[in-house]
Amino acid sequence: MNEIIQEVEMGQWRRTHSSSEIRSCSENDIVVVMGWVSSVRDHGNLRFIQLQDRKGSTQVVAKKGECPDPVLEQIQSLKEHSSIAIKGKVKLQQKSPSGAEIVPIELKVFSHARNAAPFLIQGKRNSIGLDTRLDLRALDLRRNSLQTIFHIRHTILKSIREFLDKEGFTEVNTPKMIATSTEGGAALFPIFYYDREAFLAQSPQLYKEQLTMSFENVFEIGPIFRAEPSRTNRHLSEAISIDTEMAFADYNDAMRLLENLLFHVFDSIRSINKHELSSSEIQIPQINIPLPRYSYAEILQTLHESGENVRYGDDLSPQVLKLSASNMNLDGFYFITDWPASIKPFYVKPDSKSEAKSESFDLMYRTLEISSGSTRINTKSELIDRMRKQGLNVQKFDYHLKVFDYGIPPHAGFGVGLERFLMAITGLDNIRDAAFYPRDIDRLAP
Ligand code: ATP
Ligand code: MG
């Protein structure tokens, strides 16, 4: 422990002003500011500290003669990242970005940064290995660019709740520990549930459909768990899904809801995060609604025209989509509609005129899938039929199927991956940076 710096408790000290409030103080006002040291600059008997809090940062100027000697001495030993409080006098400074500086009178060091950080957080994100940053994620998240990204995430969630509330949706929570898979497939994490095997939910799909019986329009914002063995830049093992389901609606209604929701979210970000965005490199994409809609068949057609060998029923991977992107101007956000029923989950309603296709859509941003949605099957016999066709064990879905004996309304909905959406909005190329603590096949800590 550095003998000059003594760590102390907060005691009766409380912050009187945040960094953004200092500019509205008068000259010589006494204030208490709290935060962490984001930079220190030394000029002999003059030391500048940048004190960061959640609203921004304030410059503290400690000069021999102006600030008590013991305080100056401590300030000279302070390291970046230390958590501190300063009681000081406001000095208005037109030139300073915060409009004012603080001349310290007293200092409290709550937690002294003992070690030099393994990476600089002022540097560019991509100049440091992602794994190095993720190993000390809490520190990494002090980085300005990540702060902006996660503030935008906050706006997304807040504005989605606002929008869906106005549209008459009830927020729900469905179980995350479940007895059978939602969609079949292997991507499940088994867990111990007392003396039985259970799984982490890969989606709230079946529960949110059931809830349309009693609430009509529901939404859930919660984790989904998927055992994704491949390492990609767009898959996490634990992601946040924004799920909606609405009664007396089909997939066209769901698409309209989704594009209006996007529009509202973009509008909110532009106004709420305006200040941060003006000093960041993040360019929020433009969005005009209604969004372009291309059918799966149309996309396939352009792929065939450019000589690609993709068959009806093949999935459209980002690599494949890249090939049609230039011919079709697949920039920005757009929908791909009417997917083959064979590559959509069992609960997706086949088209009434052509069994091979389904009433479904994916919302895309360039070649990245952001959301999948559809009209759902709402008759029991059709659902059983589709389950059999997909090789699922019908008995295991008994708990779900019996609901269909009691008048479930026609319904439709979608699930948006929050991290994918955040990637699209902020231009991130790796989904791991869109999660606070990402989980993937190699990472289970921190
Ligand atoms: P992909 O084909 O890209 O793996 P998916 O079609 O399997 O996605 P859906 O079951 O349609 O995914 O899930 C709805 C949305 O949830 C997706 O559009 C995506 O935004 C998000 N999502 C799904 N799986 C993941 C994951 N492993 N990591 C992050 N987000 C995911
Ligand atoms: Mg999908």
Same domain, 251 and 343: yes
pTM to 2 decimal places:
0.96
395: three-class secondary structure by DSSP:
helix
Q: With a cut of 60, say whether residue 379 has pLDDT above it.
A: yes
How far does residue 417's CA lie from ligand 1's centre (Å)?
6
Answer yes or no: is 9 within a domain.
no
| Closest ligand, as measured to the CA of 243 | 1
The pLDDT of residue 216: 98
Same domain, 169 and 62: no
Site to probe by mutation for ligand 1, drawn from 372, 374, 418 as the one with most ligand atoms within 8 Å of Cβ, is 372
The enclosing domain of 246 has a CATH number of 3.30.930.10
Per-residue pLDDT reduced to its tens digit, 335-356: 999 999 999 999 999 999 998 9
The pLDDT of residue 182: 62
Ligand 1 touching residue 372 (CB < 6 A):
yes
Ligand 1 touching residue 415 (CB < 6 A):
yes
Site to probe by mutation for ligand 1, drawn from 369, 437, 443 as the one with most ligand atoms within 8 Å of Cβ, is 369
- Give how far Cα 219 sits from Cα of 160, 179, 216, 249, 257, Å: 10, 22, 10, 15, 12
Same domain, 50 and 147: no
How far does residue 141's CA lie from ligand 2's centre (Å)?
30
Same domain, 349 and 427: yes
Ligand 1 touching residue 236 (CB < 6 A):
yes
Same domain, 82 and 151: no
In angstroms, the CA 108 to CA 157 distance is 36
Same domain, 167 and 25: no
Smallest CA separation from ligand 1 atom 20, residue: 417
Same domain, 165 and 30: no
How far does residue 368's CA lie from ligand 1's centre (Å)?
10
Same domain, 334 and 261: yes
Give the number of other Cβ atoms within 10 Å of residue 311's Cβ: 8
Ligand 1 touching residue 226 (CB < 6 A):
yes
| Angle formed by the axes of helices 418-426 and 144-166, nearest 10° | 120
Same domain, 153 and 46: no
Answer yes or no: is 276 within a domain.
yes
Q: Which residue would you say has higher pLDDT here, 99 or 33?
A: 33
The enclosing domain of 36 has a CATH number of 2.40.50.140
Whole-number percent of the chain with pLDDT over 70: 98
Neighbours of ion ligand 2 (CB under 5 A): 372
Same domain, 411 and 262: yes
The pLDDT of residue 186: 65
Same domain, 177 and 105: no
The number of folded domains in the chain is 2
Same domain, 39 and 86: yes
Per-residue pLDDT reduced to its tens digit, 205-227: 999 999 999 999 999 999 999 99
Mean pLDDT of 326-340: 90
Ligand 1 touching residue 344 (CB < 6 A):
no
Whether the bond into 446 is cis, omega within 30 of 0: yes
The answer to whether residues 299 and 324 touch, using CB atoms and an 8 Å cutoff, is: yes
The pLDDT of residue 323: 80
Starting at the edge strand found earlier in the chain, the sheet holding 177-178 runs 177-178, 196-200, 189-193
Taken in order 358, 362, 368, 371, is the CA torsion positive or negative?
Answer: negative
Q: With a cut of 60, say whether residue 1 has pLDDT above it.
A: no
Half-sphere exposure (Cβ direction) of 67: Cα atoms closer than 13 Å:
28
pLDDT confidence bin for 439, thresholds 50/70/90: very high
Which tokens in the block code for residue 10?
Answer: 């907060």
Answer yes or no: is 312 within a domain.
no
**Chosen domain end from 60, 92, 111:** 111
Per-residue pLDDT reduced to its tens digit, 22-62: 999 999 999 999 999 999 999 988 999 999 999 999 999 99
Give the mean pLDDT of the chain: 94
| Structural domain containing residue 398 | 139-292+329-434
